[in-house]
Chain A
Amino acid sequence: MNPVSFYSLLLWELRQLKRSQLLWTTIAGVSALLLIGLFNTASLHKQQTADQRNTQAKEASWMSEVRERAVRYARPAEGASLPYWQDPTDVAGFSRYYLLQHALKPQLPLSALAIGNSDLLPTRLPLKLDTPFGIAPVYDFEPPRGLSLGTFDTSFVIVYLLPLAIVLLLALLTTYEHDHGMLRLIASHTVTSRTWLSARVLAIAVWVVPAVLLAIVITLSVTGVALISAWGELFAALTLVLLYQLFWFALGYAVLARWQRGTGAAGTLVTSWAVLIIGIPLLINVIASIATPTPSRIQQIDAERRIDEALPREEDAVLAAMFRSRVDRVNAIERIPQLDYATLMTFLIPEIERRFSMLHEATAADQKRNQQLSDIAGYLVPSLGVESALATLAGTDNKRHQHFEQQTRQHQLKLREFFFPRVQREIATPTPKPLLSSYGRMNFTDYDSVPRFEMRDGNAQKRVSALLPTAACLLSLSILLFVTGYRNARQWPTDID
């Protein structure tokens, strides 16, 4: 009798599985959960985008109010007197009290794919000249209960629930014959254990993998994602999910090749899931937090306050040194006590930043170290790698946010370059007030010339290529597990003899 070929057995298995209620119920369940996850993520990001539009609208209406005031304050008025901080036509007053700009981080087309840290990190940063290093410690309030429980998003379904569905399907659909004493009958035919098990596992994968990928594409389009504009990222995401599913199928294959019965296989696979997804991240996290504790933000507050407290005592000396260092200001040194607060700050801000720089660098170094550790863990633990990769494609990851913060900082420096010389020029060579009887100082009304922020994102190719190491790791682990399973499956189980 000729041995049964793998191909013909696979076709037979595919036909049989097509009638499996369990298979289709599972696929339908995963698809429904994907839809819910996508809807939740999309609605959060839609809200954030609406907030950004509102912010822009408020900025515009604020500027139109400022312009109206400028017109009003240019006119002659009885007994006109106005402190500089109430005068938007005073360059110092405007720069500190009237400049209203926000750096906005727009959503990427595929943002619905993963919530990432978009529920924690701000999508709008206020731009103020005196914010140390440009980044105000602000955030958008999200319900903390939701943050602590975790949002039900697409990434949660793909990374956490999909593997469970796969391992349960594998455990139940490949051990039926073993549990019901039918494996002996199959073994008596001209089919090898490897061929039989491999065909069964592959047949399940052939139904599940494309169905899940299709479900992702359909649910993405249903939730209004412009797939064509993000085809590169979409293709990468689908490839990643494909590889992630292959990893779990490979793990299942390796476990099933030990020929446990259904309950034993399910127990082993679910335990493997728990160890990989819960145990190892928890363990690495605990070790990391013990070995390299994060610099205490509370202690940083203390350090900042000490610097803030010390500066006023040294302020006069610092300012005098700054004035002496410039020929055009050296003669204005005796005017320092009369300078307004906003003007003084144009000199003091760089000094404050210099004093804060060690704290800032320690925080940045800690963030970098955490990110590196997370990246390494992502190569070892597939769930972490995929979660991180999906967030990268969605643009909801920490790295993009850091990029956003760097650009915000650059823009702040640009604003300082714009305002500080104008403010400081008023010390030595004050602009004559055009009309002495008006409220306005009228030394700054060119509001359109103030630089505007616009975030520049790296191209999609860069985001996609960042995933290659994760994809390579997933593929390598899958191959390793397949080979292990293939080697172990060479003999039928002994308990059917």
Chain B
Amino acid sequence: MTFQLIRFEFTLLRHDRRAWGALCFFAALLLLSLASTALDISRSNHDKLAVASAERARWLGQSAKDPHSAAHQSIFVFKPAPALALLDLGIEPFVGQAVWLEAHTQHDMLYRPQGSPSVLQRAGLFSPASLLIGFAPLVACLLTYAVLARDRERGVWRLSVGTALSPARLVWTKFLVVWGAMNGLLVAPPALLALLWSVMLQQVSADLLLRLLAWTIAFTSYFAILVAVGFALSLRASSVRLSLAVGVGLWIIFALVLPRAISTTVQQLQPLPTTQSVKQQIVEQAPVYWSAETGADQQRQILKRYGATQKRDLAIDLRGAQLDLAERHSHDVFDRVLGGFYAQVVAQDHLFAWLAALSPAAVMHSVSTALAGTDFAHHHRFIIAAETYRRALVNRMNQEVMARPANHDGPRHLSDNSLWSQIDEFRFAAPPMQIALAVIAPSMAALAAWLLAALAIMSRVARKVRP
């Protein structure tokens, strides 16, 4: 009986040209965005792989030279797009995709895909998740109107309730139909395509499957909230006009205004130090080019450490030791200044995850990007991995300079492939899902709370439906 009722209601929904048309149009937009995102990611990943391989070949094939010069030439490394970026690009268009691992400096990640977009490029940038989060509420509003509110408007609802054995069951059936249609057309296709995409890229792992499952559950929960609120409004509002007006109003506030407003509030509550001040601190505390006085001081420290009174007495190369000293000092500065800065960005995201509880759409922004691996916590992991690699590379080069003393003003030692090949190729493993969960735990709890509250309200309203 229930199955027949669901089939019947689904048929009615499909025959509603406007509602079904809106749903299909939105699904088509979603697929378009998915296709465009897939194209961008595959182009970018292809280039990154090819150029990373060329960089490696250049590193290994470089001519014999002073190891410190090699540390300056060094290599570029590239951040691979996570497989689930197909579903949610998150911050990817706005963060650098490449970094130069040069001696002395922890360079910024450069070449942001949306570094200087035109108005059209920025206004038309929608990943599947951002479309779903921002505009599925509007679709839910139209669908609930089509299956329930309009019946009320036409008086059909009174008749249906009058003949139904259980009016509440009728409401739940309609809920299941709308929720199922939205999931079937808006969540299942992107999730399945993402799975297929991961298989093609040979990136399927337990972690990825768990992320995809969690992403799917999160969106089905989000849709359940939207549909439940839509039904509750349609049943409780004194008029259909009012229910639609309130529905659209809630969409504007919760999906359009609050996510941006919360994000901006987070920036106001926990402002980040400016780039100018961060760079200035680094320049002051770890200058790339030191003064004559600093150089003399470094030399004194080194001579003292090695129990020598003059350069010629040292068993190591003084220049190499100076480079090593300055390099290790700069690591402390980078950890303190840049590390502190990035920690503040992560802390901002934590605060956003808490404040996002005010709006299910904001919650979804936090949850979706984290599960897709496109939030700052994941990006930060890449920054750390690249910097760790840079330090290992530069330290090894400095050790080589130190180990070949040229303190008698003789020619500098030149290293060759036997040294270059000691540096392993850079590889970045996608961070585990725990990284995501650590950030979004409050958002997940908020999503569950919103879901329970929405279902409870709808259940209560459905119980009160009387013929």
A374 touches B78 (CB 8 A): no
A286 touches B36 (CB 8 A): yes
Residues of A165-193 whose CB lies within 8 A of B: 168, 172, 175-176, 179
- Inside 8 A of A47's CB, which chain B residues have their CB? 274
The segment out of A138-146, A220-228, A414-422 that lies at the interface is A138-146
* CB contact between A144 and one of B22, B62, B295, B379 (< 8 Å): that residue: B379
A302 touches B51 (CB 8 A): yes
A100, closest chain B residue (CB): B283
Count how many pairs of residues, one from A and one from B, have CB atoms less than 8 Å apart in the complex.
Answer: 243
B83 at the interface (CB under 8 A from A): no
The segment out of B211-219, B345-353, B413-421, B443-451 that lies at the interface is B345-353
- Residues 43-73 of chain A: 1 if any B CB is under 8 Å from the residue's CB, otherwise 0? 1000100110011001000000000010000
A270 at the interface (CB under 8 A from B): yes
Give the bracket for the number of chain A residues in contact with chain B.
35 or more
Within the assembled complex, what's the spacing in Å between the Cα atoms of A97 and B274? 24
Within the assembled complex, what's the spacing in Å between the Cα atoms of A484 and B90? 41
Within the assembled complex, what's the spacing in Å between the Cα atoms of A387 and B73? 43
B91 at the interface (CB under 8 A from A): yes
A117 at the interface (CB under 8 A from B): yes
- Inside 8 A of B138's CB, which chain A residues have their CB? 270, 274
A160 at the interface (CB under 8 A from B): yes
* CB contact between B117 and one of A69, A87, A117 (< 8 Å): that residue: A117
B47 touches A145 (CB 8 A): no
* CB contact between B98 and one of A164, A290, A301, A384 (< 8 Å): that residue: A301
A138 touches B108 (CB 8 A): yes
- Inside 8 A of B379's CB, which chain A residues have their CB? 144
- Residues 71-111 of chain B: 1 if any A CB is under 8 Å from the residue's CB, otherwise 0? 00100101000000000011101110110000000001011
- Return B275 CB to nearest CB of chain A, in Å: 4
The segment out of A259-267, A345-353, A426-434 that lies at the interface is A259-267
Residues of B336-354 whose CB lies within 8 A of A: 341, 345, 348-349, 352
- Return A300 CB to nearest CB of chain B, in Å: 8
- Residues 227-255 of chain B: 1 if any A CB is under 8 Å from the residue's CB, otherwise 0? 00000000000011100110011001000
- Inside 8 A of A308's CB, which chain B residues have their CB? 73
B348 touches A143 (CB 8 A): yes
A486 at the interface (CB under 8 A from B): no
Residues of B260-299 whose CB lies within 8 A of A: 260-261, 263-264, 266-268, 272, 274-278, 280, 289-292, 295
- Inside 8 A of A384's CB, which chain B residues have their CB? 119-120, 123
Within the assembled complex, what's the spacing in Å between the Cα atoms of A217 and B464? 49
Residues of B32-52 whose CB lies within 8 A of A: 32-33, 35-36, 39-40, 43-44, 47-48, 50-51
Known: A143-B272, A262-B241, A281-B123. A149 touches B248 (CB 8 A): no
B145 at the interface (CB under 8 A from A): yes
A148 at the interface (CB under 8 A from B): yes
Q: Per DSSP, are chain B's interface residues mostly helix, strand or loop, or mixed?
A: helix
A304, closest chain B residue (CB): B76
Known: A305-B76, A377-B120, A388-B119. A86 touches B292 (CB 8 A): yes
- Return A97 CB to nearest CB of chain B, in Å: 5
A373 touches B120 (CB 8 A): yes
B44, closest chain A residue (CB): A298
B405 at the interface (CB under 8 A from A): no
* CB contact between A286 and one of B55, B90, B124, B349 (< 8 Å): that residue: B124
- Return A335 CB to nearest CB of chain B, in Å: 19
Known: A374-B119, A374-B121. A278 touches B126 (CB 8 A): yes
- Inside 8 A of A139's CB, which chain B residues have their CB? 108, 112, 115, 275
Known: A120-B117, A121-B116. A55 touches B276 (CB 8 A): yes
- Inside 8 A of A290's CB, which chain B residues have their CB? 36, 39
- Return B222 CB to nearest CB of chain A, in Å: 16
Known: A274-B135, A299-B51, A301-B76. A152 touches B261 (CB 8 A): yes
A282 touches B33 (CB 8 A): yes
* CB contact between A283 and one of B32, B119, B256 (< 8 Å): that residue: B32
B169 at the interface (CB under 8 A from A): no
- Return A171 CB to nearest CB of chain B, in Å: 8
- Residues 247-288 of chain A: 1 if any B CB is under 8 Å from the residue's CB, otherwise 0? 000000000000001110011001100100111011111101
Known: A161-B252, A309-B58. A120 touches B114 (CB 8 A): yes
* CB contact between A117 and one of B18, B116, B125, B131 (< 8 Å): that residue: B116
B36 touches A152 (CB 8 A): no
* CB contact between B124 and one of A87, A140, A156, A282 (< 8 Å): that residue: A282
Known: A302-B54, A305-B55. A151 touches B260 (CB 8 A): yes
Interface centre among A367, A374, A391 (most CB of B within 10 A): A374
Known: A149-B260, A152-B264, A161-B256. A298 touches B117 (CB 8 A): no
B373 at the interface (CB under 8 A from A): no
- Inside 8 A of A151's CB, which chain B residues have their CB? 260, 263-264
A443 at the interface (CB under 8 A from B): no
A50, closest chain B residue (CB): B274
A376, closest chain B residue (CB): B120
B4 at the interface (CB under 8 A from A): no
* CB contact between A270 and one of B78, B248, B278 (< 8 Å): that residue: B248
Residues of B295-313 whose CB lies within 8 A of A: 295
A124 at the interface (CB under 8 A from B): yes
B375 at the interface (CB under 8 A from A): yes
B257 at the interface (CB under 8 A from A): yes
A367 touches B276 (CB 8 A): no
B116 touches A367 (CB 8 A): yes
- Inside 8 A of B150's CB, which chain A residues have their CB? 263
A69 touches B291 (CB 8 A): yes
B142 at the interface (CB under 8 A from A): yes
Within the assembled complex, what's the spacing in Å between the Cα atoms of A397 and B120? 12
Within the assembled complex, what's the spacing in Å between the Cα atoms of A388 and B122? 11
B117 touches A140 (CB 8 A): no
Within the assembled complex, what's the spacing in Å between the Cα atoms of A97 and B292? 13
- Inside 8 A of A137's CB, which chain B residues have their CB? 110-111, 115
Known: A51-B276, A179-B241, A290-B36. A146 touches B118 (CB 8 A): no
- Return B412 CB to nearest CB of chain A, in Å: 14
Within the assembled complex, what's the spacing in Å between the Cα atoms of A160 and B120? 14
B453 at the interface (CB under 8 A from A): no
- Return A64 CB to nearest CB of chain B, in Å: 15
B365 at the interface (CB under 8 A from A): yes
- Inside 8 A of B25's CB, which chain A residues have their CB? 279
- Inside 8 A of A36's CB, which chain B residues have their CB? 261
A303, closest chain B residue (CB): B51
B259 at the interface (CB under 8 A from A): yes
- Return A30 CB to nearest CB of chain B, in Å: 11
- Return B189 CB to nearest CB of chain A, in Å: 17
- Return A131 CB to nearest CB of chain B, in Å: 13
B134, closest chain A residue (CB): A278
Residues of A284-338 whose CB lies within 8 A of B: 284-286, 288-290, 293, 296-299, 301-302, 305, 308-309
B153 at the interface (CB under 8 A from A): yes
A82 at the interface (CB under 8 A from B): yes
Within the assembled complex, what's the spacing in Å between the Cα atoms of A398 and B268? 26
* CB contact between B29 and one of A145, A279, A299 (< 8 Å): that residue: A279
Pick the 4 closest A-B CB pairs, nearest first.
A285-B124, A374-B118, A144-B91, A281-B124
5 contacts between A and B (CB under 8 A): A69-B291, A117-B117, A144-B376, A150-B260, A151-B263
* 8 extra interface residue pairs, beta carbon distance < 8 Å, beyond A85-B289, A282-B131, A296-B47: A140-B275, A145-B375, A152-B260, A168-B245, A176-B241, A266-B244, A283-B124, A374-B118
